[in-house]
Amino acid sequence: MRRPVKKKKVLSPDFVYNSTKVEKFINHVMKRGQKETARGIVYGAFDIIKEKEKTENPLEVFDKAIKNVGPLVEVRSRRIGGANYMVPREVKADRRFALAMRWILEAARGRKGAPMREKLAEELTAASKGQGPAITKKENTHKMAEANKAFAHFSW
């Protein structure tokens, strides 16, 4: 018997941009429960984006970056008859958002020699323009799915 589906906790929107996506992103940036530090990083990155991109609303850059980085398909391992197959599957919207946030933060933390807010701002602007390591990760995921589409009939 399958386990029951977990009820998702409803997040309240952040108080600057009134967006639940930004609040979720802040929670992903946060380490060791230091939410104010995470807020400072995210809002600082948005201020840098506002200055450099000369845009009034950095949420547009953020949304475009998340949309560009989120994968449409991914491969999942499936064991059939003693062999493991990488089966391509479509990615649901909430997982797509979670993967996009994870990959953007991973790419930003991988950059060296700058404060986190600057690294995050650079990564978000690069991702919104379709460049950077997070976009490369998405493309690699799509290539793996394309290479294994012969096993798509094993999907469950």
Q: Can you give the pLDDT at residue 84?
A: 92
| Per-residue confidence band for 54, with pLDDT thresholds at 50, 70 and 90 | confident
List, in sequence order, every residue forming a beta bridge with 87; answer none if it has no partner. 76
| Per-residue confidence band for 153, with pLDDT thresholds at 50, 70 and 90 | confident
Architecture of the 20-154 domain: Orthogonal Bundle (1.10)
| Per-residue confidence band for 1, with pLDDT thresholds at 50, 70 and 90 | confident
Q: Can you give the pLDDT at residue 116?
A: 95
pLDDT over 80 at 43, yes or no: yes
